[in-house]
Amino acid sequence: MTHLKIDRSFVSPLDDPRRADGLVHTIIEIGRALGLTTVAEGIETPTQLRRLRELGCGLGQGYLFARPLESDAIADLVARRTGPSSHARSRRAARQRTVRTKESARAGPCRAPRESGGRL
């Protein structure tokens, strides 16, 4: 195990300044103590992002960054954000992930691992 995810149900209340963020802070500290990377799920607003950064969360995923995308669309998004030199590598990597997923599906039912989130 390398990652500790913070469920979106804990991230959503971060929009309300009157709500305590102690539980999220505690989850981040537990992850740090165990040497795990903490990933916040369901980040939808700049306020949630700001508060997670203040609490020390380094990774996140959610609609604030992008809607769910197909592998080719992910490669295009990465290329736009990182520059044209990485575009070909991104598309190639996305195709390889798609091929591996199809091969895994033929091998029998399994649950594909989800990618970790984007850097906060």
76-105 tens-digit pLDDT: 888 887 876 555 555 555 555 444 443 334
Question: Looking up tokens 């537990």, which residue turns up?
Answer: 30
**pLDDT confidence bin for 64, thresholds 50/70/90:** very high
Q: Of the residues 29, 41, 103, 115, which is catalytic?
A: 41
pLDDT of residue 69: 84
pTM of the model: 0.63
In three-state secondary structure terms, 118 is: strand
Query: How far is the C-alpha of 77 from the C-alpha of 88, rounded, in Å?
Result: 12
> 41 catalytic, yes or no?
yes
pLDDT more than 70, % of the chain: 69
